[in-house]
Amino acid sequence: MDNKLKVYRAIHNLTQQDLADKVGVTRQTVNAIEANKYLPSLGLALKISRHFKVNVEDIFLYKENNDS
């Protein structure tokens, strides 16, 4: 799984803490998602995509053989 969270965050001029506060998680979680160390739950992925007003697939990209 890959993601463009950092890109979307930069476009919207948000810090990790800002985004974390808006979607109700810790800054560490946002950082872990961006670094591909943590795969968010479906609920959180939807929350993030809804916040940026895009589809989930626009931010989170599924890659074969790399689902960690």
Q: How big is the chain by its Cα radius of gyration, in Å?
A: 11
For residue 24, state whether it binds other proteins (rule: CB under 8 A): yes
Min dist. Cβ of residue 33 to other proteins (A): 8
Phi and psi at residue 65, to the nearest 5°: 65, 15
How many residues bind other proteins (CB under 8 A)? The answer is 11
For residue 44, state whether it binds other proteins (rule: CB under 8 A): yes
For residue 68, state whether it binds other proteins (rule: CB under 8 A): no
**Residue in 29, 48, 49, 60 binding other proteins, rule: CB under 8 A:** 29
Cα gap 57→38, rounded to integer Å: 17
Residue 10: partners with Cβ closer than 8 Å, 6 or more residues away:
none
Classify 35 as helix, strand or coil: coil
Binding site for other proteins (CB under 8 A): 24-26, 28-29, 32, 38, 40-41, 43-44
